[in-house]
Amino acid sequence: MPKTRLKLLLACALAACRTGAPARGGDPGAQAPVVPGIDPSIMDPSVKPCDDFYAYACGGWLKTFKLPPDKPAYNRSFTAIDERNLELLRALAEQDAAGHLDPADRYPDKVGDYWAACMDEEGIEARGTRDLMAAFAAIDEVKDLPSLARGLARLHRAGVFPAFRIDSTQDARDATQIIGEVAQGGLSLPDRDYYLKDDPAAQGIQKAYRSHLTRMLVLAGLPADEAARQTEAIYALERSMASAQWTRVEMRDPERTYNRLNLAGLEKAVPRFPWAIYLSDLGHADLSAFTTTTPPYLDRLEELFDSTPPETWRAYLRWRLLATMASQRALPRAFTQERFEFFSKNFTGAKELEPRWKHCVRSTEGALGFALGQAYARRYFGEDGKAKTKAIVSGIESAMRNDLAEVAWMDQPTRRMALAKLERIVNKVGYPDEWRNYDRLQVDRSSFFQSVLGANAFEVNRDLDKIGKPLDRGEWLMVPPQVNAYYDPQLNEMVFPAGILQPPFFTRGAPDAVNYGAIGVVVGHELTHGFDDQGRQYDALGNLKDWWTPSVGAEFDRRTACVVKQYDGYSAVDDLKVNGKLTLGENIADLGGVRLSYAAYRAARAHEAPVAGFTPEQAFFVAYAQAWCTATRPELLRLRTATDPHSPERWRVDGPLSNLPDFAKAFSCPEGSGMVRPAAERCAVW
């Protein structure tokens, strides 16, 4: 359950976006093909590069590729590597489960037990709802506010978050301090807007959700009429929570979502709720320093604690636990199937459930990712890859340094602060220096349900234990096999896990043009996040602090308004438009990423020969575009438009490049072509 509010990722973090299967046929043992950085065979020669570069670079593949039935989307780079990783991690977990323990690995017994519990589908079937009913019995104790506080604490401790979330976070104004964060949450649909909109599409989803909820309650043993009654009460409660929550665009504002208060302040904001009982049962009675993301949401909780009868709370708590465990596939098949049908029809478009073994690799990775990741990194990540990546990172930081020194719209005081921030950025490459200690994680090989709760409890406790202790700068928020990267503004650091440092992003011996076009742009993207509309609000030490002189800040806002307008004009799917404000930070990072990596490439290369028939400059842009070739089902595109801060891949390519004079020059694109925005509309931030 990672927090993602301030972590600026490279790609969609929704589980639906990173599911994958081999492109060819259904043999789960088959190795997915290694994709080279440039593949002329997937291009569409009938499209001119100056008209639509994404269609030119990816169009041949997009026209012929058939999405595997279990896939909501398939990206030729991310998904292909993810598929290879699934095979490798599965082999490691199977070896551990069979008792062939490698003495060099830590926790192979826990990895093996967790994996075996997850894969024991017949055992899960035979156990039925026994574990669920035991947990329901505890929820039945809820009859007033003190017992509700205890019930919420019990579920929160187990990683199930009805009503609100609680986490640790760095204090935005003093990044050296770790405090508690009480955040809006508790919904079942993927965004508040699904409860609040009343167009026909939204009404359809609301109706389908209520039917799904009723069917799940019936599967859990309720008579149909009682299930229908509870459904309406639960839905009304969730809808009331949703209507006091801020939108994803509002939640992108770090000033607005920082509301520091101590325990007395929390008790004053929600006086009916017995916080002392809650915190004590959470196992963290001593917590006293907090921030809350959404003050009006605390007001709504206060109203709901007053007006909602205990029987509705009980029904809602049971439902949140049931839904969480079904999403983990820790309940019998009928639950998994019912949940899949609701989500696939409304949000992902997948035609088949992902094979269980793939789910179990992801689940084991979620529970024990740094144990599994240590074994993975030791076997599959070379030190030469680390050294080469560090060299590329340093070249791109130099390009940013030159940029900051020269950019005409900055004044000297702001420029000095920006350069100071750049100098302090920490880079983490491959895998952590210190591996996570899982000694206290409890796994039960005979019950996957209990193993999931055990892993959740371990993670929640590990997270809350950080409050009040010195900041650990060595921690990683992504496991080494993950095919992604992030910039963290509060730690002022960039992190590139081993998973993304392989072909086609990084290929040993590939021409520089290809590596800079692929992994170089990833590095430039993350670096730019430090200076996007959110990142720029933090200083070199990771504190939320305005270090911009007002006129330079206003110029920055003028430049980013151009980007908002550009992406607002793009179609996501059917008549649905991209949300320029939701995707602003990512679009700034894409734009800066290509520009910085191209500058670094030009500075680094000696003479390069043509690559696959392209000039080196053209090859850079083809490698960039082909890293993003993605087939996506329309259902997922609609979900992503509502929830994902990243633009659809087509616009992640055509959007930045149509602003870039160097691109137009490389392909000799005339003014007025589709890939050359008119000078008056061209956007440039970094």
Catalytic one among 120, 167, 526, 533?
526
Residues of this chain that interact with Zn ion (CB under 5 A) are 8, 586, 589
344 vs 558: CA distance, rounded Å: 40
Exposure letters 476-491 (e unless 16+ CB within 10 A, then b): bebbbbbbbbbbbbbb
Instruction: State in angstroms the smallest separation of the CB of 425 from Zn ion.
Output: 15
Active site includes 526?
yes
E strands of 126-229, at which residues?
164-171, 174-184
Q: For residues 533 and 586, which CB has a smaller minimum distance to Zn ion in the complex?
A: 586
**493-497 vs 426-430, strand pairing mode:** parallel
CA 356/CA 617 separation, integer angstroms:
44
Going from the C-alpha of 177 to that of each of 171, 245, 295, 302, 421, the distances in angstroms are 6, 27, 21, 28, 19
Torsion-angle region of residue 652: left (phi > 0), alpha (psi -120 to 50) or beta? Answer: alpha
Q: How far is the CB of 99 from Zn ion (least distance, A)?
A: 41
Nearer to Zn ion, 477 or 612 (CB): 477
Residue 487 Cβ, how far from Zn ion at the closest point, in Å? 7
DSSP 611: B
Q: What whole-number distance in Å separates Cα of residue 229 and Cα of residue 213?
A: 11
Pure H helices in 407-491: 412-424, 448-464
Cα 658 versus chain centre, distance: 27
Sort strands 174-184 and 289-292 into parallel, antiparallel or unpaired.
parallel
Task: Please say whether the beta carbons of 319 and 497 come within 8 A.
Answer: no
Least separation in angstroms between residue 521's CB and Zn ion is 11
What would the two tokens of residue 544 be? 């939320």
CA–CA dist 489, 492 (Å, integer): 5
Helix orientation angle between 383-406 and 521-529, rounded to the nearest 10 degrees: 50
Residue of 590, 617, 635, 649 marked catalytic: 590
The answer to whether the CB of 455 falls within 8 A of the CB of 368 is yes
Minimum gap (Å) between residue 643 Cβ and Zn ion: 15
Nearer to Zn ion, 86 or 521 (CB): 521
By annotation, the residues acting in catalysis are 526, 590
